[in-house]
Structure 1
């Protein structure tokens, strides 16, 4: 419908924004100046206690300095009443005494029909409420009392009773209501065989469903017959009612959430009533279906982080998992969900009746962020004892995270998942805070004293000690590679106790944490300085350029290979020594030469100082110290032959 020029300007000029907003807020009289139309209040759009919501009545605009909501009277009504543009215009025009211009005949006819259907629904609510006090509703009243709903609660929630038979249809047609409109309102249905219409609700406790404006748009009914085909029944979708876009107890819950209460999403009518009765007034429920995208958007208009409190059974968990899949693509900064998991086999009503409101509040306080429940769904009951199973978990989680549209949220979810994966596959963690030391500073010029102390501590395993130090220092300055070399790092046998301690800290380092600070915190600043100030470490390109992942990756690959080769040679020599019983043969000599040549191949590197190397008989480069040790051993074997 189009409005004539000037109509909106006249509507805004006749409308007092202070009056419109004043229905939803409590003005801060100390901060406000009513004479100038300068008004302040706590914001109705987000939970706060300070008066950050400003209304300039003369200009006709509002602005919140907390959540940055802004607009005029029309936008305020749309947001707070959850109505579309034309409905907001109608509300304000009616209050201002203005007549709306002639509308499109079809639109006018549709609006008139909706009004008639809403009136019929109100008549039905009154009929069912009166029926609850009749003799036929004795079992229903007894059931409600057993559930803790006294007369006052029944009045508050407008509970009623639908008698058996076609009592409602007869009542409404007796008042002159068109039978077809009763059907259109969802209160009756016409059989396919052409027989007379029949009541949809029979032998059931009735729960009126109202929109945020308070209009009854449908009904819900709980069967009193335990053998009924459906325990709970909702009205069908009509021109008034779209179950995927509606929430039970929407209006009162929105008002309570605006006053600071946690918005709770329960499973059904009785759960909502039990929670509201226990003091959790900001509670809603979806209507006979899983939470939909539209309902999620409605929830986020009420509160930034609703708590999903579903039953503690398999069906409840499945429902929570479906909510996760629906919510992930819709996530925005500041808009998410938390999940309060009920005890096994209990719903909120059961918990409150058994343990009181305090138990429910404890569960709400302990509600899990959505990312934790996502992780739990993908890992609970699973065994990840093979690379293939771990890869399947990674693939599944990646597929879920990819559905998040917001790149920032997607990144944070990936980081959170990475940390939980680390916890699952790396259970070892540094127990408490170790001795505190001063923070390590970047190494300066290596000192001779440092070199001598390192080499002295290394004993006969100088080369292994140096390579261990290079590996550990590279990971300290580029900790994001720890996960890639985790298996090799775990298997690295550190003969130096300081190296072993640093390796333990690195293996237990959570993703994203500063490795240098962690080592200094657990082992003291001296341990970090001794590692980083070693001359062999200080000249390493990966250490000189911290954060260069590619350089660090090449360094680790090369040095791990050399370390494995060195220890392979040690193992061959040790085995040969055990086999020597005063005699030696050519096979033993050949084994040692092959081991040495394999070691030579691993130890070649253009990055190392060639001045420290000699050329072997086969043209390969071998460290002078290693060559001397090997020649001495070979000479000993050769000259120990009989007859020498």
Structure 2
């Protein structure tokens, strides 16, 4: 039958899933969904949900998930076409006429699925048998629990050139089965790479030998390929099935069948580098993890991730190879970006992979890594700024060109415009922040020690409309810089407690960290950086604080370890004054603009112009702080 995706979607749309399931299972209304005791495993409390609007069911107990067709095949045990015909009859749809070529392809695919299923069963049996001792010891050393081993279907391929072939051809006609084994990627055919005469004297042989076997499944949970890890010496360390009619590694994500339903519960998807990372994270409580299969993340895989969540988090190793993989994924995503859809980037501590981290520090440490994930724009900016020195005009022009190349790769016009604006603003802040004019001293006149002088914020009129401090742009950079400075020079917290306590901070984690710093400083007469970190404990705020202390990209004297303490503290005090004045100036300007629009007289116009100038002076001082004088 030639069943197009459009026709199948129409069939699903005409089928009310709760009614279909309710024919054999007692269901009850629960808000916009229905719930029931799961028919796929024994339970007393309902964890099986049915969503008619989205057309799927899901069990939060055993992970069973599917649509109307999947229900008929899994719960009723019907073959696919019989399930389709029964649903079509109930929905009043005519099943499309038979297409001989499509039928042949479907039959061939089903045969390959049967072959892969048989191989999976045999690999599992070998792991439990006499030959599987070394593989079982490896799983034990890696801390893989028995329930995890069963859920992911671990198996073992003996170190033999023909055991799998013999086992799968023993109960059928070898001349018919052997070509299917080759097509499925389970056997290697010498004829594919050797001269015809020589190949004719050699037989096909097992592809996977002496390896721990990990099945790779499609979105429906069917085995379509295998990954094999070598147990002794040898290369490659990991070997995947070749591309076959069932398996295209550039379009497949490992663990998609389990991560997709889990992502609906957690609201996120975590992308890691390999399947052992996925398995370790799933065992540690992160079932929404997936991995590409030996290749960089492809455009098709990115689109597949976006079908699950709008901003999947890429969590690659902190080494050079991991970070290069992250940037390659970022570049591939640029032409695909659309409103609301992007990528997040979380970086593991150097020298650790997800398994190392959760085993040494627990799941909460990995959760903290995820909480510190950067948006795509931040990762791209940081990567390009760190790509090389920026001392000469040519090097700085090179940075600008690289940023322009990034924005040019973005297809969506609105997103491209926002990236262009952000990059231009940050680039100009780095290199073109204007300095206030300072006249040269006359002869015999000593130059002041601080040529900038302390900045005094203007007195804004009383208003209850003070703006919240943003977490983006120069304002956001200054905010993070001030918090980092307070962590490095905690004695300044008590001196500026009143100004700091009245700040309204948009970034919730930063606001929580600021509140804790104030409380800690007010309780202690003298407080030091290490004492503050101890008070913060080992949670998200601790990780944020440590990250801010390492934030060398923040170009403030008071965030740098090597800065002169007296200069750094002076600049920190000025930064606090500038930051605290910003919201009041914004509110005063809005109030003056509103009065001018209402009265339209010269007095209110002059008032508005005065606050416009004050805002410009404030913005200039903010830009000056981004490039302190000892860095010029």
**TM-score, normalised via structure 1 length:** 0.58
Q: Give the CA deviation at 1:13.
A: 9.7
2:135 equivalent to 1:140: yes
1:357 is matched with: 363
Aligned in 2, Cα 1:424/1:76: closer, same or farther, shift over 3 Å?
A: farther
Count, aligned residues:
432
Residues 159 and 207, structure 1, Cα contact 8 Å, conserved in 2: yes
2:127 equivalent to 1:120: no
1:421 is matched with: 427
Match of 2:98 among 103, 111, 128: 103
Q: Give the CA deviation at 1:302.
A: 0.9
Aligned in 2, Cα 1:14/1:406: closer, same or farther, shift over 3 Å?
A: closer
Aligned in 2, Cα 1:126/1:433: closer, same or farther, shift over 3 Å?
A: farther
2:325 is matched with: 319
Alignment of 1:286-435 (within 5 A): 286-380=292-386, 382-425=388-431, 434=457
Partners of 1:402 and 1:364 in 2: how far apart? 29
Aligned in 2, Cα 1:332/1:14: closer, same or farther, shift over 3 Å?
A: closer
Q: Give the CA deviation at 1:387.
A: 2.4
Aligned in 2, Cα 1:113/1:229: closer, same or farther, shift over 3 Å?
A: same
2:229 equivalent to 1:222: yes
Aligned in 2, Cα 1:197/1:12: closer, same or farther, shift over 3 Å?
A: closer
SS in 2 for 1:222: strand
SS in 1 for 2:257: helix
Aligned in 2, Cα 1:329/1:101: closer, same or farther, shift over 3 Å?
A: closer
Residues 120 and 185, structure 1, Cα contact 8 Å, conserved in 2: yes
Q: Give the CA deviation at 1:151.
A: 2.1
1:568 is matched with: none
Alignment of 1:173-322 (within 5 A): 173-176=169-172, 178-191=177-190, 192=194, 193-194=198-199, 195-226=202-233, 228-322=234-328
Residues 439 and 517, structure 1, Cα contact 8 Å, conserved in 2: no
Residues 15 and 68, structure 2, Cα contact 8 Å, conserved in 1: no
Partners of 2:410 and 2:361 in 1: how far apart? 38
SS in 1 for 2:105: helix
1:149 is matched with: 144
Aligned in 2, Cα 1:149/1:295: closer, same or farther, shift over 3 Å?
A: same
Residues 438 and 520, structure 1, Cα contact 8 Å, conserved in 2: no
Residues 400 and 427, structure 2, Cα contact 8 Å, conserved in 1: no
Alignment of 1:44-63 (within 5 A): 55=52
SS in 1 for 2:29: coil
Aligned in 2, Cα 1:376/1:17: closer, same or farther, shift over 3 Å?
A: same
Q: Give the CA deviation at 1:28.
A: 8.2
Structure 2: give runs of 5+ residues left out of the alignment. Answer: 36-49, 57-65, 74-78, 436-451, 464-570, 597-601, 617-632
Aligned in 2, Cα 1:91/1:543: closer, same or farther, shift over 3 Å?
A: farther
1:438 is matched with: 461
CA RMSD of aligned residues (A): 4.7
Alignment of 1:2-41 (within 5 A): 15-19=15-19, 29=29, 31=31
Aligned in 2, Cα 1:427/1:229: closer, same or farther, shift over 3 Å?
A: farther
Q: Give the CA deviation at 1:9.
A: 12
2:586 equivalent to 1:517: yes
2:85 equivalent to 1:93: yes
SS in 1 for 2:391: coil
Aligned in 2, Cα 1:248/1:30: closer, same or farther, shift over 3 Å?
A: closer
Aligned in 2, Cα 1:434/1:275: closer, same or farther, shift over 3 Å?
A: farther
Residues 461 and 588, structure 2, Cα contact 8 Å, conserved in 1: no
Q: Give the CA deviation at 1:420.
A: 3.3
**TM-score, normalised via structure 2 length:** 0.59
